[in-house]
Structure 1
Amino acid sequence: MLKIDVPFFRMHDGRASDTTMVDGRHAINFSTYDYLALNGDRRVTAAAKEAIDRYGTSVGASRPTAGERPIYRELEAALAKLHGVEDALCFVSGHATNVTVIGCLLSKKDLIISDALAHNSILEGIKLSGATSVLFPHNDLDTLEALLREHRPRHRRAMIAVEGLYSMDGDVPDMRRLLAIKRRHDAWLMVDEAHSDGVLGEHGRGIAEEQDIDPTEVEIWMGTLSKAFAATGGYIAGSRALIEFLKIQAPGFLYSVGMPPAMAGAALAALQVLEQEPGRVAALRANGALFLQRARAAGLDVGLSIGASVVSVMTGDTLTTTVLANRLLQQGLYVVPIIFPAVGEKQGRLRFFITARHTAQQIETAVDMTARELSRLRKEPPVAMGLAQAGG
């Protein structure tokens, strides 16, 4: 009604990197998951091309039907090594990984307690399973334990689901406490590491390395290949028994075509680069710390973020958040707004994805520009804000 440009589905030219050409406009880009700056890396693209030359663009069917390819087992062995567990299994989609695995492992006789800010894929998996679902307030482990005391005795199995690094707030759970709680209540623990793989820990091995816990104490490690590893798809890592069970029971594996060979090749090469060049993780974390420090100094509300790969700048209502994103793009900064219903109406934010490729100058420019424009917007009445965006 206010003729405000919709800030989503914008047309980009070229690969996702620290800069982009969007709607014909050059901009600094803070809306790519390329945390380790591996998208377009010559070794990663060469591995993808080599996989196509050897295996084609498709394996033709599900892996049980079409048979295995060495590249899949090499990738899964590398992922198991990353997490320090026995085995791993890759799926064609990250979102589908959570949906099919949770739906497969639990049923209506079971209990799933998940963090209130857990990803949509976890919530959809819970729906599919039919298990009793209970949410606990974000990172409130006292309430988690109270809910387990109340509900656990009435269910056959129980699972706690959390994220290694929360995709909206950029903060982390207390893994030591979670392990103690799950042991006391005979529950499984599932950790979604979509945004913490390649990000947390000195060598990018995730929250287990970051918080120095034994990774074998976590029953289910989940991750995606579409963030730090410059590919697409998802995976589960854990005990060999778990992986063998999923191979014959998880519908999203059994009845879905295997991951495209090019994506397996790209992800495997990305993991090899990560192992050879841990300095990429250090560069990423330094950039995250710089963004957080500059943002706080500029008076921006960055919420709970620890300054890793995700930093959200809290902006308030949908109108303010959307207009701010559009004005920043006009000035050469591309960052996508998060608005209702993805978050509450008054919890709008600009979500900045930090990468190892961003420069200090790009970070300082982004923070200064955001602080300046947000300050200006908050002085404008809502109607004037809309008219200004519409050119009125």
Structure 2
Amino acid sequence: MSRGQGFGLSNAARLALVQRLARRREGQEVQAASDQRGFGAIQGLRDWGLMQEAMGALAIESPFFRAHEGRAGAHSLIGNRDTINFGSYDYLGLNGDPRLHQAAASAMARYGISASASRLVSGERPVHGELERRLAAHYGQQAALAFVSGHATNVTVIGHLMGPRDVIVHDAAIHNSCVEGAKLSGARRVSFPHNDMRAAEREMAAVRRSAGRALLLVEGHYSMDGDVPDLAALVRIARKHDAWLMVDDAHGLGCVGATGKGVFEAAGIDPAEVDIWMGTLSKTLCAAGGYIAARGDLIDWMRHTVPGFVYSVGLSPPLAAAAAAAMDILAAEPWRVAKLQANATLFRDLCREHGFDTGASFGLGIVPVVLGSSVRAVRVSAALLDHGVNALPIVFPAVPEKLARLRFFLSAEHSEQDVRQAVAALVAATDGVAPADLAG
């Protein structure tokens, strides 16, 4: 058996664990059959129980929901201990910037904390329009619309834009929010292998013979792998086959391009060539929410019809003001982007020097370290924390079992010493959790 299969366990250990879990499943099924009001009939809930049982059998503590006792920047206080933190989307180190704090405080003092209701019902606040104008200008579009959740932005917009007679051709590595939106729409979904432009064109050409409208859907900076697509090729494919091109650049803003404008800057493409830009306010812009930038007629239609906007409370005014301030800083201080990219490239290259698999990462803001099994990834994450480094695992089923990994989010706030110390800790942590030790 190759490394990484069966959660990295020996055959005997796997067999014992499977038998134990099978007995538990039998007991759950009997209980679910007799429990008319409980939730035991939910398959996902039963599966989660089995996963917890497996973690208990392997003496593994959950690495998730770790409590941070302060701002989670390049460093964070976890368990009352200073830790080098690679679990934050604060790419440019703006979450603690006093200019953002002041913008949020001023908006809160003037408009309150909440928009109080849907903007359609409760009315606009000037900070909403200011943020949306900045976003539209950034992407070379006529208008933009801000939502209260990045995930919900993709779900509600894709679900509303496309219909059962349409087709969505998307990268296989697209974010869950895009997948859920595509499911909601009822459109036919066709995926192509990650970043394979020939396959993308082949699939698009095949489906355009029968579909109504078509959407080509990709990310600008893939959060699992840290790589970017060939945007010029995607624009060409969309135009050739009369399809809309939508780019989720949630992780691209602030990370990709010489000044962090996003994947269009790196590709040397006029952003107006992309039909729909999506992004989030919770990463580089240090707020919360999502946005769409596109033509004015499309945005105006969305403002009046998209369920996730019309029937949802408006974006909190302090968050809108803070995000707008962050947009200004991004444009005025490109040194932050240069520092981020230098840190990410150094981390990636040092990892590779030590024999770690960092996949196709471009070294812009996200660097995965592929470890080969879910158990190993979780145990290395715990060992890293013991060495004063916080990095979270990505495990099956989020990724294939043999591609379980730790995911490192770099920041402009990290020092070179932070980066070198983290790689040294990673070497020590993996030396202490070798594949042969995984039988538990």
TM interval, shorter chain, is: over 0.9
Question: Matches of 2:412 and 2:316 in 1, distance apart?
Answer: 27
SS in 1 for 2:401: coil
TM-score (norm. length: structure 1): 0.96
2:433 corresponds to which of 374, 377, 381:
377
Map 1:160-199 to 2 at 5 A.
160-199=216-255
Question: Matches of 1:175 and 1:211 in 2, distance apart?
Answer: 6
Cα distance, 1:69–1:327 mapped onto 2, change above 3 Å: same
Q: Does 1:144 align with 2:200?
A: yes
Question: Matches of 2:218 and 2:95 in 1, distance apart?
Answer: 27
Q: Does 1:224 align with 2:280?
A: yes
Task: Specify the code of the residue in structure 2 equivalent to 1:298.
Answer: H
Partner residue in 1 for 2:357 = 301
Partner residue in 2 for 1:7 = 63
Question: Matches of 1:375 and 1:60 in 2, distance apart?
Answer: 53
1:280 corresponds to which of 320, 331, 336:
336
Contact 2:376 2:435 in 1 (8 A): no
Bigger Rg, structure 1 or 2: 2
Contact 2:147 2:314 in 1 (8 A): yes
Question: Matches of 1:147 and 1:270 in 2, distance apart?
Answer: 39
Partner residue in 1 for 2:387 = 331
Cα distance, 1:320 vs structure 2: 0.5
Question: Matches of 1:91 and 1:191 in 2, distance apart?
Answer: 17
Partner residue in 2 for 1:119 = 175
Task: Specify the code of the residue in structure 2 equivalent to 1:128.
Answer: L
Partner residue in 2 for 1:389 = none
Partner residue in 2 for 1:56 = 112
Partner residue in 2 for 1:318 = 374
Question: Matches of 2:379 and 2:257 in 1, distance apart?
Answer: 36
SS in 2 for 1:316: coil
Contact 1:28 1:334 in 2 (8 A): yes
Question: Matches of 1:26 and 1:276 in 2, distance apart?
Answer: 31
Question: Matches of 2:71 and 2:80 in 1, distance apart?
Answer: 14
Question: Matches of 1:378 and 1:16 in 2, distance apart?
Answer: 30
TM-score (norm. length: structure 2): 0.86
Contact 1:115 1:162 in 2 (8 A): yes
Cα distance, 1:183 vs structure 2: 0.9
Question: Matches of 1:204 and 1:15 in 2, distance apart?
Answer: 23
Cα distance, 1:379 vs structure 2: 5.4
Task: Specify the code of the residue in structure 1 equivalent to 2:139.
Answer: H
- Identical-pair percentage: 49
Cα distance, 1:117 vs structure 2: 0.4
SS in 2 for 1:296: helix
Task: Specify the code of the residue in structure 2 equivalent to 1:179.
Answer: V
Contact 1:313 1:350 in 2 (8 A): yes
Gaps of 5+ in 2: 1-56
Question: Matches of 1:330 and 1:380 in 2, distance apart?
Answer: 21
Aligned length: 384
- Which runs of structure 1 show a deviation greater than 3 angstroms over 4 or more consecutive aligned residues? none
Partner residue in 2 for 1:256 = 312
Gaps of 5+ in 1: 387-392
Partner residue in 1 for 2:14 = none
SS in 1 for 2:154: helix
Contact 1:83 1:206 in 2 (8 A): no
SS in 1 for 2:328: helix
Cα distance, 1:149 vs structure 2: 1.7
Q: Does 1:40 align with 2:89?
A: no
Question: Matches of 1:3 and 1:293 in 2, distance apart?
Answer: 33
Task: Specify the code of the residue in structure 1 equivalent to 2:437.
Answer: P
**RMSD after superposition:** 1.0
SS in 1 for 2:291: strand
Cα distance, 1:273 vs structure 2: 1.0
Deviates more, 1:2-11 or 1:166-175: 2-11
